[in-house]
């Protein structure tokens, strides 16, 4: 964006403005565009989810407002705006007020490092991935604050559940990303995407692979296991259905949102859907190449970039449109998978949730980190790093050996851990039965 | 795709013309003043607030201010780690601990001799720290290279290299410390009785009631047969 | 940055934060308040380390490395400290620093 603004002002109009003015204009413009796009994304996502889940449950869903009910979210928004804003008498007024704000603000910050297309990233931070997850953990504070300030036991219970769940599922999410970061050797999200060019094999691992934009991480054993673990953790962080314990309406009313109404409730709703969108987007970016796809790389090579200032501006637009299309298609596919999971699975109990996270996902992702280290050693290192025996091998051969070894390692780890986990769950159920037995005998 | 790999957050400097830096300096000074006011003010609120939850929320604000200060000093990795660890983990731990304990502080916020500690803190600040800081001559290195060129800063890559070469022993000790702290926290806070106090599900309660009724019936039947 | 703000300004902010934290740690009755004061003090130390790195030795990574170690120690300290506070609450039913005095002769 900075390059395009610079090109427009200084080259096309020849005004010769200083660099900071161009930066300022570019960032303001990007922020405005994002703040206009994001709420509309959220409106569309709510409509999409309601229609999709209705189709799965053999219903019709909202279809009254506008053609096929497409304006239903707008009507909902109007309703929320005009509702009375109720603050309970016993609530802590200020904390009750700022709670939803603390929940929403981090989700907006996370867009700062999200790349939409080739060259279309608001801010390419060299620690972007870490920033994304650091900021996402802030919203837990807002949940806790709003749950406590409501002075309602259901709200407090919901907040405690939500925070416990978010904190424990952050660990497998970050560990599965750590494997990917090891492979790419960079924390920048843009570098992560450019790494994934190629055709089923990343052209960074094996030079000479034709670039069809399909060298995604999910095609490697390390990336596949990391993808599964990350997506499950993302479902838990976004409070999606198998893990929607914090707002289980049959147990604790609406969790931390119980005492909120009107637009404050709307803010929680907004934060939730925007967070879901972001989690789907980051899944698509990290494991499925983001905007990478057939044709984008070729188009972007002809465009105006810092490396190629003599390019054609038309190709910027073409590459951007195609890249954003691929990116949004992948993101919406993952959102559809989230809805699909909601239609298919029942809610877990809190102890099952914690057991699954701590006893299965975390060991699996730890093994995956070791696999990633082996992958890096076999595909990138040489005699200089102490791996002399790989020196004479062809790149494809090294890639194949790394593939087989990590595949075997991950499969063995998966089957072993799943067996141990299911045995421990059986044992636990047996113990629970014994406790029940003893209770009944005493009584 | 990126020209400057060392510190991406130095955009204003990177694009600033070499002559017109005074405006940028003033801007940085204003930002520094605001951030310092936030840090100090929030810290004051932390120690003087009566409600512990409010204290914890102000503590989070203070942590954020410190993270912003790191960003201003171009240590973006440390800033992100500050947000991740302090705001995302430690303050959540503190909030959890507050929720798990009931604060019956009574009418007194401070200990009996709070003014002594106040005097110690004020004296330390006014009589020791500030004169020392003001009286020391810091050997600030003179900027090398052409004027206006971005300074070379060590970043995330050097940090990672340091952890596996120069500071590898410290790194491993930190890992052991974290493991020990994890196990220690579990051992200290573990409650033996918590297992027995499992909340029964509705189905289990129903089952329990059924069995109770059955045992009562059988007891009645046994009493009858004795008669 | 180094031109606009003198090193002393950053250090004075850190010193003020340290003294506020010290006051909180010494005088709060609530044990969690004491812990919060200690966290403030650790933060001020981190500010100092980063400032010295930035102003005096920007090419060497020693300062940020020790900030990472301090953050690690702070996390460990918070986990163990809060576990102890919860245990104290279970046995004394209070978390006031001056009520936990069974060692008093």
Residue C70 has a pLDDT of 92
Angstrom distance (rounded) from CA B157 to CA B159: 5
Residue A246 lies in a domain: yes
Angstrom distance (rounded) from CA A185 to CA B79: 21
Three-class DSSP category at C28: strand
Which residue, A392, A422, A32, A358, is CA-closest to A171?
A358
Distant-in-sequence contacts of B110-114, Cβ < 8 A, 24+ apart: B110/C27, B110/C28, B110/C29, B111/C26, B111/C27, B111/C28, B111/C29, B111/C97, B111/C98, B112/C98, B113/C27, B114/C26, B114/C27
- The overall average pLDDT reported for chain A is 83
- Taking residues A332-355, report their average pLDDT: 86
Check CB contact under 8 Å for B89 and A163. no
Residues 40-99 of C with CB under 8 A from B: 40, 43, 46-47, 50-51, 53-62, 64-65, 67-69, 71-80, 82-87, 89-90, 94-98
Between A310 and C21, the higher pLDDT residue:
C21
**pLDDT tens digits, residue range A67-122?**
888 888 888 888 888 888 888 888 888 888 888 989 988 988 888 888 888 877 88
**pLDDT tens digits, residue range A146-163?**
888 888 888 888 888 888
Look up the ipTM and state it. 0.89
Residue A227 has a pLDDT of 92
**pLDDT tens digits, residue range A385-441?**
777 777 777 778 888 888 898 999 999 999 999 999 998 888 888 887 777 777 766
Q: B144: how many CB neighbours lie within 10 A of its CB?
A: 8
Residue A177 lies in a domain: yes
Between A63 and B7, the higher pLDDT residue:
A63
Nearest chain B Cα distance for residue A19, angstroms: 5
Q: For chain C, which chains pass the contact test of at least 3 CB pairs under 8 Å?
A: B
Residue A14 lies in a domain: no
Residue A417 lies in a domain: no
pTM for this prediction: 0.84
Please list the helix, strand and coil fractions of chain A in percent, rounded to the nearest 5, in that order: 75, 0, 25
Interface of A with B (CB under 8 A): 18-20, 22-23, 92, 95, 119, 123-127, 130-131, 133-135, 137-138, 140-141, 144-145, 148, 156, 160, 163, 167, 170, 187-188, 190, 194, 305-307, 432, 435-436, 439-440, 443
**Structure confidence at residue B6 as a pLDDT band (50, 70, 90):** very low
The tally of domains found in chain A comes to 1
Residue A29 lies in a domain: no
Token pair 């990574």 is found at: C61
Q: Which of A71-75, A231-235, A371-375, A405-409 has the lowest mean pLDDT?
A: A71-75
Residue A258 lies in a domain: yes
Q: Are B38 and B71 in contact (CB under 8 A)?
A: no
Residue A174 phi/psi, 5-degree rounding, is -70, -35
**Structure confidence at residue A238 as a pLDDT band (50, 70, 90):** confident
Which residue, A287, A247, A292, is CA-closest to A269?
A247
Q: Are A152 and A146 in contact (CB under 8 A)?
A: no
Angstrom distance (rounded) from CA A24 to CA A30: 10
Angstrom distance (rounded) from CA B148 to CA C5: 17
- The overall average pLDDT reported for chain B is 77
Q: Do chains B and C touch (3 or more CB pairs under 8 A)?
A: yes
Check CB contact under 8 Å for B86 and C56. no
Residue A237 has a pLDDT of 85
Q: Which two tokens stand for residue A35?
A: 């703040």
Check CB contact under 8 Å for B17 and A306. no
Residue A142 lies in a domain: yes
Supply the range of the domain harboring residue A192: 83-349
Angstrom distance (rounded) from CA A253 to CA B69: 41
**pLDDT tens digits, residue range A160-206?**
888 888 888 888 998 998 899 988 888 888 888 888 887 777 777 77
Q: Do chains B and A touch (3 or more CB pairs under 8 A)?
A: yes
Q: Which of B12, B15, B24 to mutate to test the interface with A (most CBs of A within 10 A)?
A: B15
Between A216 and A22, the higher pLDDT residue:
A216
Angstrom distance (rounded) from CA B75 to CA B50: 34
**pLDDT tens digits, residue range B88-108?**
889 988 988 888 887 665 667
**pLDDT tens digits, residue range C27-70?**
888 888 889 999 999 999 999 999 888 888 887 888 889 999 99
Q: Are A266 and A80 in contact (CB under 8 A)?
A: yes
pLDDT at B19 over 70: no
Q: What is the secondary structure of A35-99 as a DSSP string? A: HHHHHHHHHHHHHHHHHHHHHHTT---S-SSSGGGTTHHHHHHHHHHHS-----TTS-HHHHHHH
Q: Are C55 and C7 in contact (CB under 8 A)?
A: yes
Which residue, A232, A222, A233, A176, is CA-closest to A411?
A222
Q: Which two tokens stand for residue A369?
A: 């980190």
Residue B7 has a pLDDT of 38
**pLDDT tens digits, residue range A295-311?**
887 887 777 777 777 77
DSSP state of A21: H
Q: What is the length of chain C?
A: 105
pLDDT at B149 over 60: no
Q: What is the largest CA-CA distance in chain C?
A: 58
Residue A336 lies in a domain: yes
């Amino acid at each position: 964006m900075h390059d395009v603004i610079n090109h427009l002002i200084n080259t096309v109009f020849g005004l010769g403005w200083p660099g900071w003015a161009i930066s300022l204009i570019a960032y303001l413009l990007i922020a405005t565009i994002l703040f206009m796009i994001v709420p509309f994304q959220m409106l569309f996502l709510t409509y999409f989810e309601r229609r999709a889940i209705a189709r799965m449950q053999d219903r019709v869903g909202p279809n009254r407002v506008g053609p096929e009910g497409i304006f239903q979210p707008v009507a909902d928004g109007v309703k929320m705006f005009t509702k009375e804003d109720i603050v309970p008498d016993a609530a802590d007024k200020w904390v009750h007020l700022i709670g939803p704000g603390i929940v929403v603000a981090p989700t907006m910050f996370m867009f700062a490092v999200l790349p939409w297309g080739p060259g279309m990233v608001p801010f390419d931070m060299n620690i972007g991935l870490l920033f994304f997850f650091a900021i996402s953990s802030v919203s837990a504070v807002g949940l806790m604050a709003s749950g406590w300030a409501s002075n309602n036991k259901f709200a407090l219970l919901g907040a405690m559940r939500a925070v416990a769940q978010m904190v424990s599922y952050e660990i497998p999410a970050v560990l599965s990303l750590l494997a990917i970061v090891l492979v790419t050797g960079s924390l920048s999200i843009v570098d992560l995407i450019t790494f994934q060019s190629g055709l089923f094999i990343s052209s960074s691992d094996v030079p000479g692979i034709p670039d069809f934009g399909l060298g995604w991480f999910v095609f490697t054993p390390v990336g596949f296991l990391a993808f599964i673990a990350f997506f499950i953790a993302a479902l838990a962080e976004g409070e999606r259905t198998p893990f929607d314990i914090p707002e289980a309406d049959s147990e604790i009313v609406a969790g931390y949102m119980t005492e909120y109404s009107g637009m404050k409730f709307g803010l929680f709703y907004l934060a939730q859907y925007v967070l879901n969108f972001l989690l789907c987007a980051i899944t698509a970016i990290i494991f499925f190449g983001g905007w990478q796809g057939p044709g984008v790389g070729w188009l972007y090579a002809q465009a105006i970039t810092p490396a190629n200032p003599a390019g054609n501006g038309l190709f910027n637009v073409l590459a951007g449109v195609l890249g954003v299309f691929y990116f949004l298609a992948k993101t919406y596919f993952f959102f559809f998978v989230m809805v699909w999971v909601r239609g298919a699975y029942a809610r877990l109990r809190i102890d099952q949730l914690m057991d699954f996270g701590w006893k299965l996902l975390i060991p699996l992702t730890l093994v995956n980190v070791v696999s990633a280290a082996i992958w890096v050693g076999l595909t990138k290192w040489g005699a200089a790093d102490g791996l002399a025996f790989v020196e004479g091998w062809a790149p494809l051969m090294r890639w194949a050996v790394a593939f087989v070894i990590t595949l075997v390692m991950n499969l063995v780890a998966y089957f072993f851990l799943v067996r141990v986990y299911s045995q421990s769950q059986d044992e636990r159920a047996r113990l629970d039965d014994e406790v029940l037995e003893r209770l009944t005998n005493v009584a | 795709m990126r020209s400057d790999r060392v510190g991406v957050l130095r955009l204003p400097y990177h694009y600033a013309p070499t002559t017109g830096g005074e405006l940028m300096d003033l801007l940085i000074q204003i930002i520094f003043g605001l951030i310092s006011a936030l840090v100090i003010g929030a810290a004051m609120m932390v120690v003087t607030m009566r409600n512990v939850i409010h204290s914890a929320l102000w503590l989070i604000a203070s942590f954020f201010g410190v993270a912003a200060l790191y960003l201003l000093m171009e240590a973006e990795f440390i800033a992100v780690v500050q947000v991740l660890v302090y705001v995302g983990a430690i303050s959540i731990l503190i909030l959890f601990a507050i929720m798990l304990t009931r604060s019956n502080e009574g009418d007194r916020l401070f200990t009996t001799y709070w003014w002594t500690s106040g005097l110690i803190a004020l004296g330390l600040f006014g009589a020791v720290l500030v004169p020392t800081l003001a009286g020391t001559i810091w050997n600030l290195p003179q900027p090398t290279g052409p004027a206006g060129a971005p300074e070379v800063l060590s970043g995330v890559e050097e940090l990672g290299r340091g952890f596996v070469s120069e500071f590898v022993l410290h790194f491993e000790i930190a890992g052991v410390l974290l493991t020990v702290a994890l196990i220690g926290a579990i051992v200290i806070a573990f409650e033996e009785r918590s297992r027995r106090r499992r909340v029964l599900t509705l189905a289990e309660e129903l089952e329990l009631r059924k069995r109770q009724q059955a045992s009562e019936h059988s007891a009645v039947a046994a009493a009858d047969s004795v008669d | 940055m180094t031109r606009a703000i003198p090193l002393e300004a950053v250090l004075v902010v850190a010193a003020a934060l340290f003294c506020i934290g010290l006051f909180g740690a010494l005088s709060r009755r609530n044990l969690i308040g004491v812990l919060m004061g200690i966290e403030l003090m650790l933060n001020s130390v981190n500010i100092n380390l980063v400032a010295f790195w930035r102003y005096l030795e920007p090419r060497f990574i020693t300062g940020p490395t020790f900030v990472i170690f301090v953050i690690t120690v702070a996390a460990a300290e918070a986990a163990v400290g809060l576990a102890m506070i919860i245990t104290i609450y279970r046995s004394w039913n209070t978390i006031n620093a001056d009520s936990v005095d069974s060692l008093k002769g």
